[in-house]
Amino acid sequence: MSNWTSLWYVWLILLTVFLLLLCGITASCIKFCFQKKRPPVETFSRLPYDVAAVAADSDSTAHSTAT
């Protein structure tokens, strides 16, 4: 059985995996912190005016005079 200290490539792989995990956790924490501090963004902009729709029947006087 070989000695663990002589297997330098195993330690290199373990160190690489540990650093990747550490970077992922750090990035997640930073993203979470910045996401909480930002105010919510409106997806639709509000219109400066109101839109009204007027319904007209086919029996109305406006329709009969127009045709």
Nearest to 8 by CA among 27, 16, 60, 23: 16
56 Cβ partners below 8 Å, 6+ apart?
62, 63
Residue 52 lies in a domain: no
Residue 5 lies in a domain: yes
Contact 38, 32 (CB under 8 A): no
Residue 53 lies in a domain: no
**20 is in which domain, residue-wise?**
1-37
Q: Is the pLDDT of residue 1 over 90?
A: no
Number of domains the chain contains? 1
Residue 54 lies in a domain: no
pTM: 0.45
Distance CA 52, CA 60 (A): 19
Residue 57 lies in a domain: no
- Give pLDDT tens digits for 23-66: 999 999 999 888 766 566 666 666 566 667 777 666 656 555 65
